[in-house]
A and B are shown apart, each in its own frame.
Chain A
């Protein structure tokens, strides 16, 4: 007679098998709740600060809520709106500069015979593979001697160089994913190489190139370190405004600025899969 056959043990194992599923579910819910607290908690704190007009110890939640600081931030003549304009302008110019050099480079890397192709691909990765602070302090020093320090074109150039790895690599992958036969068909029907590129290859690669443009735009919008060294004191982008407000103890302005910066990031996370298809993604870096 084994232990399992004793009535008491049998009863216990029945109780356990009945309890097992709900206990497991409760543990899973608790685990996920703890994970959500850890992930979302910091963002909730940010959101609370943005609507807190007064919040001090020992109060666990803001003492008075209000949108006074939102009005300060969104006042058309205020610092924040100026910085937002500067940031968006710099990001758009960075996209133009990066795409202007990346579309031809991507096409050549994907389609033409190129000596040292691997070395060239890696060259675009280098600016992201080195600790960047030491590079930026020297860029700032060089820019100072040629009058680019503290100017919008100077900041645009640094942001574009930093974003090249995305724009070149994704453009290369996008061109490589275009079916070569379609180009050949256009050429057979009498289109010249430029026309075949403009009417067949480029439109087919466009979603990938748009994805790379979004990457470059966001990188520029969120960039702090390069602007901190190259842009000061004249160029104040949103991340610099956030930093100054936070270090000055003005958590409301800092939090609202942070929320403005979050909007494009979250939108991007939701739409990225539409633009960056699996066939292009599989070719990135090759």
Chain B
């Protein structure tokens, strides 16, 4: 018995070693750099990080949360239509369309949006050509709006994929029962379908939250430099000043923010299990 356990641990060990060397060790490194000054425990780097970048921390939170809310709304609308839609051809077209951005790398999405959302990008040009806006009304969306649009464009298909999968595996009889009792499709979606797939939606949103917190390329390519997201500030601190302590303090703040999101999710799921 002990021998087979040793064998099992031996088989897992190389993979674990890779995680330890390339994730846990650097994580420890970043904590030490953030919390010590001249060899003693200190919060000085956090003071400096807040002093210099508090606007950017709020800006990051605002963008990530707004993107999360819009992603959730888009995913609910698309997955709801896929599940409850009664026009086969429209559902088929939607199903074929929505997945396209799923596997597109962030850096490519950034380049697409950098051209599409510009003052003279294809979006404004199309609106002008269709007569929706006047040429003088065309404005560049390459600021926080561009980042939010890119994040929703990229993340909504991912959340939709998981959500539509969960909705498809629901027991159809509850939906039919609601419809037979005269409930409209919108009411069925919000009162019968959505409560049952809430756990899946929350997992997908937490994963999406961490992803958008970690992206460096999109804020660098889509928006200007001030204010900007925390990832860009960290890169700037390193590349311009070699200032590891403050960069790591910002890093620890970003761990804390994602930690809060994970905690929120865990609390919800524990509460649900207690209720069940």
A: which residues have CB within 8 A of B? 28, 32, 35-46, 48-49, 57-58, 60-61, 100-102, 104-105, 107-109, 112-115, 120, 123-124, 126-139, 141-142, 157-158, 160-161, 164, 168, 218, 222, 224-225, 228-229, 239, 242-243, 246-247, 251, 254-255, 258, 261-262, 265-266, 268-269
Contacts and interface: CB of A to CB of B under 8 A. Distances in A.
Contacts of A114: 5, 8-9, 12
A261 B251 contact: no
B200 interface: no
21 contacts: A35-B94, A37-B126, A42-B122, A42-B153, A43-B112, A46-B108, A60-B129, A113-B4, A128-B210, A129-B210, A131-B214, A133-B231, A134-B234, A243-B107, A246-B111, A246-B114, A254-B111, A258-B111, A261-B105, A261-B108, A266-B103
B15 A134 contact: no
B22 A127 contact: yes
Contact of B103 (A39, A138, A265): A265
Nearest to B156: A39
B218 to A, nearest CB: 10
Contacts of B14: 100-101, 104-105
Interface in B1-53: 1, 4-5, 7-9, 11-12, 14-16, 18-19, 21-27, 29-30, 33
Given A109-B12, A134-B247, A224-B217, A39 B101 contact: yes
Q: Quick one: which of B15, B90, B213, B257 has the most chain A CB within 10 A?
A: B15
B12 A108 contact: yes
Contacts of A262: 104, 108
A137 B238 contact: yes
A80 B120 CA distance: 27
B255 interface: yes
Given A32-B97, A60-B125, A132-B214, A258 B22 contact: no
Contact of B153 (A38, A139, A168, A265): A38
A228 B11 contact: no
Given A45-B115, A113-B8, A164 B109 contact: no
Contacts of A224: 105-107, 216-217
B103 A142 contact: no
A126 B23 contact: yes
B188 interface: no
Contact of A168 (B15, B24, B120): B15
Contact of A139 (B26, B90, B102, B121): B26
A112 B11 contact: yes
Given A133-B234, A135-B23, A45 B112 contact: yes
A45 B122 CA distance: 6
Chain B, interface size category, equals 35 or more
Nearest to B242: A141
A125 B247 CA distance: 24
Contact of B244 (A35, A126, A141, A225): A141
A131 B210 contact: yes
B214 to A, nearest CB: 5
Nearest to B100: A39
Contact of A265 (B98, B104, B251): B104
B122 A48 contact: yes
B231 to A, nearest CB: 5
A133 B12 contact: no
Given A48-B122, A101-B15, A247 B221 contact: yes
A281 to B, nearest CB: 9
Contacts of B257: 131
- Among the interface residues B26, B121, B234, B238, which one has the most CB atoms of the partner chain A within 10 A? B26
A76 B252 CA distance: 44
Nearest to B102: A269
Contacts of B269: none
B15 A39 contact: no
A45 B121 contact: yes
B193 interface: no
A186 B235 CA distance: 55
B155 interface: no
A255 B116 CA distance: 12
Interface in B74-100: 87, 90, 93-94, 97-100
B250 to A, nearest CB: 7
B247 A137 contact: yes
B12 A120 contact: yes
